[in-house]
Structures are given as structure tokens and as C-alpha cells.
Structure 1
Amino acid sequence: MPERPPQHPRPAQPPGPTYLQYSPDGQRLIVAGVGNFARSFRTGDNGEPDLLPETHDETYAVASGNDYVILGCEDGTVCEYAVPSGDLKQILVRTTLPVRDIALSPDENWIAVSSDELEVKIVNRHDIEQITTLREHPKPIKHLSYDPTGKYLAASCTNGVIYIYTMGGPEPALLRTMDGIINRLETAESTSSKCVWHPDGRAFACATQTRDIQVISVEDGAHQRAFAGAHNGDITSLAWSPNGALLASSSADDQLVIWETKTQTVLKKFNYEKIINLAWQSTGENIFNWTTSQGELYIIPEFLKDEAHVRLLKGPRVRAPFFHDPLHEKTAAVNGRKPLVSGQGKRAGTPDSLDEMLGPEDEYDWIEDDDGAGYINENGKRTNGHLGGVNGHSAKRNKQDLWQPQVHEAFQPGATPWRGNRKYLCLNLIGFVWTVDQDTHNTVTVEFYDREMYRDFHFTDPFLYDKACLNENGTLFASPPKDGQPAVIFYRPHETWTARSDSRVSLPDGEEATCIALSNRYIVAVTNKNYVRVWTLFGTPVRMWRMKSAPAVTCSAWGDYVMTVGNGSVGADGCTQLMYSIDDVRRDESCQNEDVLALGTLPPDSEEEDVSLKTVFWSDLGDPCIYDSNGVLLTLLHWRNPGQAKWVPLLDTRLLDRLKDGKREETYWPVAVAGEKFHCIILKGGDKSPYFPRPLLTEFEFHVPVSRAVEKNRNDEGEEDEEEETNAAAAVRLEESFVRTSVMLDLVDDLVQSLGERAGHAQKTEVMKREIDVDKILLQLLAVECREGEDRGMKALEIVGLLKDRSGKMLEAAAKVAGRWNRTVLEDKIRDYAERRLMGMDEE
């Protein structure tokens, strides 16, 4: 049975909506409501509270500092008052309609104000003339809340949409919108749709339309764990404990529920009437508070009676309940290193995002100075008195304090990270594979774009497959070891003519797949032992070797070829260089052996630490391609010749025409290279990976980043010469087309040269066709240079020397182009060059 209230309430306001908030230091609890006054209750003092008289009637929002309080009222004023005197310090802002909510930034410099108007005002407390207005929402905002770091502002709109703004830049910017989670509510309703931030700042909780409580991660907007099944009425208030270990919720059916964050289970359930607002004591004391619609305030010392519950409340900070916590994955063992314990392993002298996320120094309260030797100070932190100088006693230092190189993490090409309880295991032009975490098992779905040729399928996955590959022949899965069972490689063909339609391979004990690859002939798995294991499609092992560069990063396969990437030596920037190898499995030969993967450098304004590899794949013509975090797509030329390979850029997505106006902020998730186009998924709103529902594919033409300065010339009247600018633009376009077409020619020619006598007529014809295409572009470029004038003759003659055709037809055409523009000297030199070339003297 739910418990009854432990004590009588304290009168705080006349009957009506009543609001409360603790000061940051936890010493005062401010309560305001429909009366023309507010009360300040002192923590641990049962005497009469301090009265703040002469406040405005009908207070609808409260924000508190240690020595001041800000009240938002029905008359549209937002005022700051001194505490405990109650003196009016300043009027921060006015609105024409009633104020509905206010939110004070963690640094106490900014106050966000929402009202029945269609805008939110962000006001500087110290200079009220600094005002920023948010207008992206079509209806009034009911609730506002800053995250604990002040980086984000969540606005719950009456249209049932959550708007997330980033506040770190010079101007607030809309990060994303989230629909279908909260209820559509009028601003005056007592039901809550507020986004209540978890203390670690990575997620917030909000009441859903089904009267559950959903946790949403702010970085990707994914649904994380939910607190469900305890409320039969609309939820009126939510409150996290200061350490995030507990969540309190109240509802219109007079239920107060205390949840455990880690397990989302109900710890206690109370039957308390007409609760409309909740608050934990802000410094972690066992004091719980709420107000009712009758204007009553409950202050309950020693609210939690069970010793285990009190330990949760006063224990270390607990992370937000994620399905797959990215912090846990990042701090998990990498190269044998153990995950960091909360509060341990801070990097000396360098900022650490994880340390900041884990919070202030009170995270060290688990350290005991049991021998009285002064190992900890008043904050619970180890002092440095036991250490010598900066260079002394190095043997006593924590090994985690030692410098370590930055190692590129392993990844599966085409796979996305977990977002909530689902992720894509594979995304390509054939289809996509995605999985859903159901706690005890996963469910896997494989869908195809061409449903006339392939049939979608879906199955329950007790093995918890975390990697997949998909091609025209079948689907490959890999699972990690589980409950004493070995890691498994599972292949399922799309079609079969036998009773058994799949193959399954178990890896040796202690070994699991770091990444997998599938070609039309082989299955490849690179394992945590740095072995490259190769099987036929139905499980016959054919090759096995150990990578020289370790730890492994990723792999990809096409036909007989396998490309592997691993961490190599450490560069001058402290990061390991990525090394790649390409092996011909059938011939057991190395095409490229431990060559450096060219990733380039970061732009000056980049916020990333280094350039990283995003994916590795093979084009539809069978050439290796990579895509890096700079947004550059590259292909590998001459990769069949050992020592001759070079990475050539095909597209720099940062230079796309669609981004030139600066209005679009988007990145691109690489999917494939096919049809001489880059196929990708456009990511907007700060997303780092695709999410559900399935996004559409977008394709971009290749555009080699060839640079040429286009100078604006002016005529005698000082006006810009438009004709000359047009010629210059045409030259730039043709130069890019020449380089790009030459690269594609080299790729096809490399293939034909490698096949030798096995090359087909169609392949040889394709080489000749592409050579003609290159020459046509050069003739167009020659015409542009001829239009520029006689002084461009030397460059024009150079262009003639680049022609591929050896028969003389193209050289004759080049001479005619020069003659058309009356460039007689150039025409003579072209004809002279043609004669020498036909005689084999062109090299001179």
C-alpha cells in the first residue's frame, strides 16, 4: 500500500499553483504562488520563514540564487529580489502577456523567459539591454530548462514539440526539434511537459503522452531508458536527486513515486494529494519537498527511511540511464587498459571532458583517510604533499598519468553507434541491417531497396550480433562472446538450393571479431588478436595471417582482395598513423604492404583533436575508397602495383555549392561510391550518424578540389570585365573536369593492365573511350586559352602536349582551334609539335 504523508504541511501561499526552488547552496527554499508575497524557508530551521513582501500578484515561475530570487508573474514582469530582505533589485524584462516559466543559466548570468507570447527572451542579469529572442516555435512555450553546463536550453512548446537550443555560441542556435514525446498542453495546465535535466548533463527526462517518463540523450536525440508503469494520471512534476541516482515523479492521481535511476524500478510509492511541484534538497541531504494546489508546502527531513535508499541518495554521481552508454564504451578497456573509475585518472595539466562531465570535487567522497596521513583534503581530494617535485618520484605516480598516444578506435564500415536501443549494423546501396536491443535479446531486420529481387527478413537474435555486412549474395553477421559461448561468424545467403541455407563459424576462446568484411567470394574477420581470418562463403578456412600494424581498426573486401587498416607508429602530433595493406587472397600476394593511409590535416578553425577515418569501402568498379572526418572522399590509384599507390581526392564535401551561402549546417554519412558518384546520407541538426526512420540517400557528383585563383579584371571605366570572368570560370571548370576524368581513366587503365590478356573487349574499349573524353576536355580548355589572347600561347601549347591521342587527329583538331581564333604562331607550333610527335621526337 502507498504510504501516507509523514507530517502536516506548512502554509505557504493561498490556494492555487504554488512553485518552489532551492538556492544553489541548499540553504534556502523559495516558495511563491498566487499571493503578492514569497517565502524563504531556511534549511534545518523550523521557525517562521523570511517573508518577501510586495511581490507582484500571481507568480508563475521561480528561479533562485544564493542571495536573490527571480520571479515571473502574471502581469508580464520578471523581477529580481534580494533574499532575505525582499527588496526589489531590478526589473529584468517585461512581456505583454503572462509569464509562464523562467530558467536561470548555471553561471547565473542569463535568464530565459517564456510567456503566452510566441517568443522566448534571453536576458543578461547584469546588463538587461542584452536581450536575445528565440522565435523558431509557432506556439507559446510552457516550460524552459537549462542543462547543468549551460550549453543547452530545452523549451517545451504547447504544440507538443521540444526545441533544443545550443547556447555556447555568440547567438543561440536551434539544435533539433523532437515531436511525438510530450503532450500538447495549454500554458495554464498543471500537467507537466518540462524537460528535467539529469545532473550529468547528457540527457533529460520528460513525461510522455502515455504517462511514462522518457529519458532522451541530447547529443543525438535518441530515446534511452524509460520509467514506466507507475502512474495512472497525468504527470505533474519530475525531479532528479542531486547525484542523479533517484528520480521523483508525481501525478494527478495523487501518487508520488521514487525511482532508482540505474534499474528504472520503483523504490517507494506514496499517496500524497494534489502535488504540483517537487524538489530535492540541492546539496544531497535527505530532505524532500513538494507543494500542492492548496498552497501548502511539505518539507520532509529524513524522507527516505531505508538505509539502502539513503546510500543511493548520498552516494557518488550516477550516470543517466542509457541503453548503451557512450561514456562506458569510451572508458572501457582499450589495448588492455581498464576503464576509469569516477573521479580517478584525471589527466595532469590537461582538460578532460569526462572529468568535467563527472562533476565537481565531491566525487571523491569515497576516498577515506583511514590512517590519518593527510592523503585527502577537505574536498575529499588527494593532496600532492606526498609527491616530490615535478620530475621526482615518477615510480609512485599513477600509470594513468603517464602520456599515452592517441589510438584510432576500431569500427565496422557502414555501422552506426547505438542511439537509444537501436543501431544500424550496415548501410549500403543493397539495403540496410538494423538491430533493436530488447534487454534479453536483440531483434534484427534486413531490408532491401530492390524488393523484386530480394526479400526482406527479420529474426530474433539471442547471439546479440553487433556487426554485419550486406552484398548481392548474402548477409554476414558477427557476435561477441556471451555467457561462456564463443564469438560467432554467421553467413546467410539470399538464395540457396540446399536444405541448409547458412553457415556458422565459432572463433577460438578469447577471440572475437573487431571488424568483418564480405565479398562475392570470401568472408573476412579481423579479430582482437590482430589475426586476419579468411573463409569461403560457407565456412572453409583458406587464409590466416597476423596484421603488422596493431591494434586493428577496420577492413573491407571486394572480389579476391582484402584491405585491412591498423594503428602504426606514433606521429609528431601524438596520434598513431594509420597503416593499410591490400592482399590478393586467391594468389596469396600483397598488392600494398603497410603503407600510410593519407588522412591530411585539420582546418585551422576545427574543434576536433585530429583527422579520423570514417569509413573504408570499395567502389562499384573495385577500387579502394576512404572518407575522413574532414569530409574528403579519396580513392587509391595504382594500388595493384606494390609501392606505387597514392590517395587521390575525388570530392571535398566542405566545398559543395549547397554550402557556399553559409545557411546550411550539415555533414554527410558515407554509404558508397558507384556510378562515379558519392552516395551518402545528409546529417542535419548536429547529428553524427543516421537514425530512424530510415533516411533517404543523396548522391553527389565527383568534384576534384582543383584550385585556381579567378582574378576580377576591370575595364577602362573601372567596371568588372564580365566576359573575362566567364572565361576564367570556364577554365576552372574544365581544369577540374580534366583532372577528374584523368583519374577515372587511370583507374580503368590500371584494371585493364592488371588483367593483361584476360581483359575483355568492352574493358579495352572503355579505356579508349575515356582517353577520347580527356582529349575533348583538353580541346575545350585550349579554346578558352585561345580566347584569352596571344599572351596565353605558352600554356595553350602545354595543353596540346597533354593530349592522349597518338594518331594525330586530336593534334589536327587542336591546330584548327588555334586557327579559328587567329592564333597563327600557336597554330604553327602545334603543327610542328604534331610532326615531331609522329616521328617519335616529342620527348625532346
Structure 2
Amino acid sequence: MPDKPPCDPRPAQPRGKTLLQYSPNGRKLIVAGLANFVRTYNTGDEDNVVIVDNVPDETNAVIAGDDYFIAGNEDGLVSQFNIQQKRLDKLLVRSSLPIRALAISPDEKWVAVSSDEVIIKVVDRHDIERITILREHPKIIKHLSYDPYGQYLAASCIDGIIYIYSMVGEEPTLFRTVDGIIRRLEVEDEASSECVWHPDGRAFACATATRDITTVSVADGAQQRSFLGGHMTDVLSLAWSANGALLASTSRDGVLVLWETKTQSIIRKFDYEKTMNVTWHPQAENYLNWTTSWGEVYICPDFLKDEAHIRLLKGPRARSPFFHDPLDDTSAAINGRKPLVNGRPKPLRAGTPDSLDILLGEGEEEDWIEDDDGAGYTNGNGKRTNGHLGALNGHTGKRGRQDYWSPQIHEPFQPGATPWRGNRKYLCLNLTGFVWTVDQDTHHTVTVEFYDREMHRDFHFTDPYLYDKACLNERGTLFSCPSSDDHPAMVFYRPHETWTTRADWRTELPNGEEATAIALSKNFVTVLTTKGYVRVYTLFGTPYRIWRQKSGPAVTCAAFDDYVLTIGNGPVGSDGCTQLVYSIEDVRQEYICQNEDVVALPEAATLKNIFFSDDGDPCIYDSSGTLLILAHWRTPSQAKWVPLLDTTQLDRLASGRKEESYWPVAVAQGKFHCIILKGGDQHPYFPRPLLSEFDFKIPVSPLAPPKKASEGEVEEEDGIGESNAQSSARLEESFVRTSLLYSLFDDSSSVHTRLSHTQKTELTRRQLEIDKILLQLLAVECREGEERGMRALEIVRLMRDRGGKMIEAAGKVAGGGEECARGED
């Protein structure tokens, strides 16, 4: 037998699709359906019913304001009706095909309309001639919903993809698509694929193909926690309570389920009949309402009887159910400190999903200052003055709270790792392979995959320690985990292969000490800790060195062979942020190559990644999109950061049509290896993206693309129709880049007391390559005429083989023998 509802049904519409919608102030409940009228019920006085006639038949969608409602109908009309006057106000928009969904922005200015036409119309409710068309989706939109702050519009398409449009700015743009969550549905299907936004605006809930309910983060499109096992048939409707602490859902078999958001557990389950659409009262009242396919509406005040459940309903705003909530990383901001991104203050943008003012709400600013000592730093309303009262002379102790200042420090990070996105994250990404983990609530599952599967076999394991950092190279995999109630912080190393039984080892850090960053080379394991210690172990777990960083707090570290590079917070700059400083030490020789030198970052840029190249030179990649390499770092006090590539100047971005950024992976084989991130993505996600590679291009001068050669123009070897200026710019960049790579190779060779034959041959080859470039540059200068003679002479002086055939070749070029500059030996 079906359960008996706690209230009696009220006939509202003919049998069939029956919709209900509260006004924003919660005073009226609008019920629409197949009839040519709409009923409105007054909250608290449900017997006082207002009937609005002359509504077109077969209402497919309805939205409401405090004194009006808007109906979209089968005949393609979207009309606004006045509730008190019971009449049609105006026709907002017309479609040639039936209306399917409506959504109204929180400020009640814009109405989004979808129909059987493959477009979304966004009309200004106050000026119906202002219409914006959204057409990035390929098929019909079944559902529309605005987020609580009016920044995003979620459109559920019948192709099973969610299209999220950004409604900020003059023209809406497609923000992202979310695939693999909702099922493919026809517009006539009763099953729902609607995105129902959580009140904090950071995520939405929707029904999946497995008849479960999942939440999706709008910031990155990742699937978050799910509500499982509540329904055996298609989900028809979802509704969050006003504070987001409870979720109600209905299904085709009449089941109504109440969920607790925090635990995703079922708190009550009712077996009713013919339930269809459900909604909570928008002002946290204990009202739950639903309609049935019989055209009835249930208006149930005091629906919840359990005091614990009522406290949930009327309690503070709950968070969206994330696996790893980004707001947990902004505790510093809650405690009065600005959150940082790699040492720089992160702006709290009002009304955006990453903003704390969503949780604090309006009116909860720091207006706690009181003029209790008569110092005159507030006005009569208890607010700050605008400075016209002069300097403050009150007691120092009284003013300490607002006058306290602390520098903005650089956040620690693990090179090659990504933040949590849903329940997954990459622990390590490099040219050897990648390590990723999945949060299974009680434990994690870790997977290690390799690019060269003939050399190494992939493996995965159950992780009860919840490893949060990893390093991977050709010899082994290194992990670290934070401390918990059951164990201290630990470091775990697993070699890939050994000539004996594989010797995994695990070591514990002292109590109260956590791993800030870890690094793995072919000789050593390095652990940077929260106490500022640099702990170095051999690959068999033997402690080898330990010292404390001179600058802190620690930020990150990297390793190559016997070298360890550490980065920490240094002196405070003029912007109130600490500068990053680095040190490089040969741990085997106990020789300091560079001691507390500054990491070269431009103003307002942040450090994104740090690693050693395959030749053993330190590299960094910053948020400005620039890749830099450290030259002459083996000589104390001689190191300098040299740009290898400015990704913002890549030819693929010249048209301005592509919106992409780059996730740095490695510098190897003379190229920059990275992952291309499309749109607004900041980190790679699953499935595993492909690696891309770019040639180095030092930003010497802007390089215009070569023009196609016209009749009579000479075709150059490297391009057709290059002008002299273009050839000169290209060759100048090539000369600077080749000279840099030569000096890097020369420095790495200098560590050997005696050069091998291969090294000597390579040095000679690189010298010859530089001279060839100079010969080509000389040819360009000679074409310019005698007025460029001094620069031509300077180019000859830059040649390294001054006594050999290069000088002879230069003479031939100057005399007109330009064929020698074509790269001939």
C-alpha cells in the first residue's frame, strides 16, 4: 500500500503534466498545467486561491516573480501575467515551435527561453526588443536553469551534454560543456535531466542514467559526490531546500526521497502515488510541496516532524557536497588573511563560485569596529571615517586588530601535481608517465602508468595511507602522505625493478612534521618538510643528509642526479609579498652551487612548475606563460634565468581565435613538452590528455610570419618571400638561442675533468652551427648595402672560428658569394 501523505491533495489542473513554482518571497505558489488557467495559492492561507484565466493551453514551463508569473506554452508563446490583476501583462517572445523550458535570472531582468528550435533566446523582461541568441549547442534544449548569482546558465541538451553559458559581460559565451553525466532524452520524456543549482552557486545536481543523483562543480565541470540508491525508476524532479542542507527527489514510481546533503544519506523515503514535481519553500519554512500526474498539488506545512531534520532545514547554509572542497583551502581568508596563489593574493571576486562572500552572505562584512576609546576612527553610524578626522591617536592595543599586518607568503606546491577535481587528481605528470589517485572515501586507489610499457609495467594499489604527493622516474616511484590519528607523516619508495627482490621501503617523519614537497633523482630521495628541514635519503632508505633551509616557509623542491634544488620564501617585496629564493646543492660533494638567489618572476606572476631538463638544467614555468632555464648555475653567484619560450607569442595563438593555456611537463630533446588546456581550464583532467611539444623561441624580437613570395622575389631556404627584416629577426633569435644552448652544454661538460671524444665533437658541432647562423645573418646585412657595413663587421667578430674557413666564407659572402651562407660546410 502506498504511504498516506501528511496533507490532503488539492485539485489544480487536468490530468497530465503539472508544474509548480514558488514566488521568490515565498508568499505564493503557482501551479500550471494543461488547462487554460493557472492557480496561485497564498502561503499560510492555501484556501485563498487566485485563478488567472486566459492562459494558453498546455503550459510546458512556468517561472514566477513576487507579483507575476511567466508561462511558456505548446503554441510557442512566452507570456507574462499579473497575479493580482489576473490578466495578461505582455507577450515576451514568440517561437514557431513549442516552448520547452524557461529560466529567469536572479535579478528578474533576463528570461531564457528554449523551444523545439535549436537555439536559446535570452530576452530582457523590461525591453522585449533586446534579445540575445545562444546557439553553441547542436540540438534541442530540454531544461534551463540560472545559478543563484546569475553568472551561469545551465542548458540540458537532448544529446546528453550540459552546456554552461557564462552570462557575465555584454555577450554570453559558452563557459564549458559537461558530458557523461545526464542521459539522452527526448523533449517529451517525463524523466528529468535538469541542472538544479545548489544555493551556494558552486555546483548543481542532476539525475544520471543510472537513476542516481550526482553533483557537478561549475568551476571545473568535475563530478562530485552522488546520492545513490534512492530510486529504482526515472527521476522526475529535484529540489534543494533554501539553505541547501536537504535535497528532495521524486521518481516515476511515486517515490519521494529526502536526502541530507552533507552525508548524501536518505533521511526519509515515502512511497506515494503519481508524484511529479517537487519544491521546497524558498524561505526555509517547513513546507514541502509536490504535484501529481493526476493534476493534484500537495501543500504540506510542517512536513518534517523530526527535530533534527527541522534543525537541518532551518540551520545555516550548507556547502555543496564536494569530495575535496576548495573552500577548505581558504581557511586563511576566513581567519583574516587573504588566500594566496603561489605567494600572491588571490582576489575574492564577489558572486563567483570561488568567492567566500557566498558563504558569508550579504551584510556580514567587517563592521565590528567600535569607537570605544574615543579615538575618532568611526562615525556616528559605527563605520570607518573617510580620513577627514586626521591621524588616529587612540590606544595601540585598541587598534591592534585592524592595524595588524603580515606579509603574503608563497604557498607550497608539489611539482607536476594537480589539485583535486571531483574525486580524482594527478599526483605526478612527466615524460616517464603519470601517477593518479581516486578518493574512495575510506581509502584511495593509486594508479601508475608509463608511456614506455615495454620497459615498465603499469600498476595500481589500494592506498590506506592517502598519499597526496608522488614523484616518478625510470628507477622508481616515490610517495608521501600526511599524518593522521593512526600514523605520522610517511615517505614510501617503490623501485620498478631490482636485481634482487624488490626493496620497497617506508620511513616515518618525526611527530609534528609534514612533507611540504618531495623530489626523486636517480641517486637520492629528497623531502622538504614543514619545519624547514631538507631530508635526503639514498634509494634504499638510508638517511644521507639533513639541513634546514635558510629561507622559509618552504615552497617546493626538485632533484637531478646529485643536485637538489630547494625554493623558499625570502625577503618581502614592495607589494607586501615575499620573494622566492632558491638554493642548489651537490649533496654528494656537499658543495653549494647557488645560495639563496632570487627566482626571477615578473610583477604579479606566480610560479607554476619547476623541474630539471633532461640535460640537468633547472627550469621554471610561470603564470605569464614563460619558460625559463637557469644558465651558469654551477658557478656560484653567476646564475641567471633566461627565457626559452613565451607561449603567449606562439604562432598558433596569432589569430586570436584560440583560447588555450599550457600545463608544463618537461624540457627534453631540445623542446618544451606540455599539455594544451582548452578554454578556461587551469589543470589537466581525465581522460589522460596527450602531450604536445613546442620548439624553443627566445623572445628577442617580434617575428612576423613570412609572406608568400611574389613574382621577382627570391625564395629563401627557410621560407618563401621573407623580407630582409623578417630574415634578420629570425636569424637573430636563432643566434641567441643557439648560443644559449651551447653555453649550457659547455657548462655541463665542464664538470668533467677530461672531456670525452663525443663531448668534444658536440662542442665543435655547436660552435659551427653558431657560425653558420652568423654567416646567414651576414648575408642579410650585405644585401642592405654599405650603410650596414659596421654591423656586418661586428657579426664577423662574433664568429668563433676566426682562423679557419668561416672567415674565408665570410669574405665570399661580403663579396657577393651568398651561396656560402646557405648552410654549406
Say yes or no: TM over 0.5. Answer: yes
Q: Which residue of 1 aligns with 2:712?
A: none
Q: Which residue of 2 aligns with 1:771?
A: 767
Q: Which residue of 2 aligns with 1:495?
A: 497
Aligned in 2, Cα 1:120/1:307: closer, same or farther, shift over 3 Å?
Answer: same
Q: Per-residue CA shift, 1:185-228, capped at 9, x if unaligned?
A: 11122110001111111111100000000111111111110000
Which of 535, 539, 542 is the matching residue for 2:541? 539
Amino acid at match of 2:748: L
Q: Please identify, of 615-624 and 746-755, the stretch whose mean Cα deviation from structure 2 is larger.
A: 746-755
Partners of 1:729 and 1:139 in 2: CA distance: 47
Amino acid at match of 1:736: E
What are the equivalent positions in structure 2 for 1:543-622 lying under 5 Å apart?
543-601=545-603, 610-622=604-616
Q: Please identify, of 320-329 and 45-54, the stretch whose mean Cα deviation from structure 2 is larger.
A: 45-54
Could you tell me how far 1:794 is from its partner in structure 2?
2.5
Could you tell me how far 1:440 is from its partner in structure 2?
1.0
Matched, 1:225 2:221: no
What are the equivalent positions in structure 2 for 1:354-503 lying under 5 Å apart?
354-358=355-359, 360-361=361-362, 385=382, 391=392, 392=394, 395-396=397-398, 399=401, 402-503=404-505
Q: Per-residue CA shift, 1:311-354, capped at 9, x if unaligned?
A: 111111111001111111232699998999xxxxx999999963
Partners of 1:260 and 1:2 in 2: CA distance: 23
Amino acid at match of 1:654: T
Q: Which residue of 2 aligns with 1:247?
A: 247
Q: Which residue of 2 aligns with 1:623?
A: 617
Partners of 2:350 and 2:124 in 1: CA distance: 31
Amino acid at match of 1:159: D
Q: Which residue of 2 aligns with 1:745?
A: 742
Partners of 1:338 and 1:818 in 2: CA distance: 62
Partners of 2:351 and 2:170 in 1: CA distance: 22
Amino acid at match of 2:270: F
Aligned in 2, Cα 1:645/1:30: closer, same or farther, shift over 3 Å?
Answer: same
Which of 802, 806, 812 is the matching residue for 2:802? 806
Retained in 2: the 8 A contact 1:5–1:271?
no
Aligned in 2, Cα 1:414/1:325: closer, same or farther, shift over 3 Å?
Answer: same
Partners of 1:802 and 1:338 in 2: CA distance: 51
Matched, 1:760 2:762: no
Partners of 1:572 and 1:42 in 2: CA distance: 60
Retained in 2: the 8 A contact 1:2–1:269?
no
Could you tell me how far 1:709 is from its partner in structure 2?
8.1
Which of 647, 657, 670 is the matching residue for 2:664? 670
Q: Which residue of 2 aligns with 1:193?
A: 193
Q: Per-residue CA shift, 1:500-540, capped at 9, x if unaligned?
A: 52121111001110100000110000001111111111111
Q: Per-residue CA shift, 1:476-497, capped at 9, x if unaligned?
A: 0101112241111111111113
Retained in 2: the 8 A contact 1:145–1:196?
yes
Could you tell me how far 1:288 is from its partner in structure 2?
1.2
Partners of 2:692 and 2:38 in 1: CA distance: 57
Could you tell me how far 1:117 is from its partner in structure 2?
1.1
Q: Per-residue CA shift, 1:399-453, capped at 9, x if unaligned?
A: 4884443222111111111111111111111111111111111111111111111
Q: Which residue of 1 aligns with 2:207?
A: 207
Retained in 1: the 8 A contact 2:581–2:599?
yes
Aligned in 2, Cα 1:401/1:40: closer, same or farther, shift over 3 Å?
Answer: farther
Q: Please identify, of 71-80 and 162-171, the stretch whose mean Cα deviation from structure 2 is larger.
A: 162-171
Aligned in 2, Cα 1:782/1:630: closer, same or farther, shift over 3 Å?
Answer: same
Aligned in 2, Cα 1:98/1:267: closer, same or farther, shift over 3 Å?
Answer: same
What are the equivalent positions in structure 2 for 1:176-191 lying under 5 Å apart?
176-191=176-191
Partners of 2:348 and 2:109 in 1: CA distance: 30
Amino acid at match of 1:797: L
What are the equivalent positions in structure 2 for 1:261-276 lying under 5 Å apart?
261-276=261-276
Q: Per-residue CA shift, 1:767-804, capped at 9, x if unaligned?
A: 22111111111111111122223322222222222212
Q: Which residue of 2 aligns with 1:681?
A: 675
Could you tell me how far 1:180 is from its partner in structure 2?
2.2
Equivalent pairs counted in the alignment come to 790
Could you tell me how far 1:42 is from its partner in structure 2?
1.8
Q: Which residue of 1 aligns with 2:47?
A: 47
Amino acid at match of 1:408: H
Amino acid at match of 1:509: N
Q: Which residue of 2 aligns with 1:825?
A: none
Aligned in 2, Cα 1:708/1:463: closer, same or farther, shift over 3 Å?
Answer: closer
- TM-score, normalising length from structure 2? 0.91
Q: Which residue of 2 aligns with 1:632?
A: 626
Could you tell me how far 1:280 is from its partner in structure 2?
0.9
Secondary structure, counterpart of 2:723 in structure 1: helix
Retained in 1: the 8 A contact 2:246–2:259?
yes
Q: Per-residue CA shift, 1:152-185, capped at 9, x if unaligned?
A: 1111111111111122133222222222221211
Retained in 2: the 8 A contact 1:331–1:338?
no
Retained in 2: the 8 A contact 1:666–1:683?
yes
Could you tell me how far 1:809 is from its partner in structure 2?
2.2
Aligned in 2, Cα 1:73/1:745: closer, same or farther, shift over 3 Å?
Answer: same
Amino acid at match of 1:619: S
Amino acid at match of 2:439: D
Retained in 2: the 8 A contact 1:787–1:821?
no
Could you tell me how far 1:68 is from its partner in structure 2?
2.2
Amino acid at match of 2:724: N
Partners of 1:121 and 1:102 in 2: CA distance: 10
Secondary structure, counterpart of 1:313 in structure 2: helix
Q: Which runs of 5 or more structure 1 residues have no equivalent in the other structure?
A: 341-345, 376-382, 602-609, 714-721, 823-844
Aligned in 2, Cα 1:93/1:403: closer, same or farther, shift over 3 Å?
Answer: farther
Retained in 1: the 8 A contact 2:703–2:726?
no
Q: Please identify, of 297-306 and 566-575, the stretch whose mean Cα deviation from structure 2 is larger.
A: 566-575
Amino acid at match of 1:450: D
Retained in 2: the 8 A contact 1:183–1:208?
yes
Matched, 1:172 2:176: no
Q: Per-residue CA shift, 1:651-693, capped at 9, x if unaligned?
A: 1111111111111111111111000101111111322111111
Retained in 1: the 8 A contact 2:672–2:695?
yes
- TM-score, normalising length from structure 1? 0.89
Could you tell me how far 1:102 is from its partner in structure 2?
0.7
Partners of 1:394 and 1:129 in 2: CA distance: 60
Partners of 2:400 and 2:168 in 1: CA distance: 34
Indicate the percent of aligned positions where both proteins have the same amino acid: 64
Retained in 2: the 8 A contact 1:348–1:401?
no
Retained in 2: the 8 A contact 1:550–1:567?
yes
Secondary structure, counterpart of 2:231 in structure 1: coil
Partners of 1:92 and 1:415 in 2: CA distance: 50
Retained in 1: the 8 A contact 2:469–2:518?
yes
Secondary structure, counterpart of 1:773 in structure 2: helix
Q: Per-residue CA shift, 1:7-28, capped at 9, x if unaligned?
A: 1112222222111211222222
Retained in 1: the 8 A contact 2:350–2:357?
no
Partners of 2:47 and 2:17 in 1: CA distance: 24
Could you tell me how far 1:272 is from its partner in structure 2?
2.1
Amino acid at match of 1:181: I
Q: Please identify, of 508-517 and 565-574, the stretch whose mean Cα deviation from structure 2 is larger.
A: 565-574
Aligned in 2, Cα 1:482/1:728: closer, same or farther, shift over 3 Å?
Answer: same
Q: Per-residue CA shift, 1:703-741, capped at 9, x if unaligned?
A: 11111587999xxxxxxxx99962222222111111111
Q: Which runs of 5 or more structure 2 residues have no equivalent in the other structure?
A: 341-345, 373-379, 708-715, 819-825
Partners of 1:688 and 1:348 in 2: CA distance: 18
Could you tell me how far 1:639 is from its partner in structure 2?
0.6
What are the equivalent positions in structure 2 for 1:241-320 lying under 5 Å apart?
241-320=241-320
Retained in 1: the 8 A contact 2:348–2:355?
no
Retained in 1: the 8 A contact 2:476–2:496?
yes
Partners of 1:394 and 1:293 in 2: CA distance: 69
Q: Per-residue CA shift, 1:62-88, capped at 9, x if unaligned?
A: 121222222111111111222322332
Q: Which residue of 1 aligns with 2:730?
A: 733
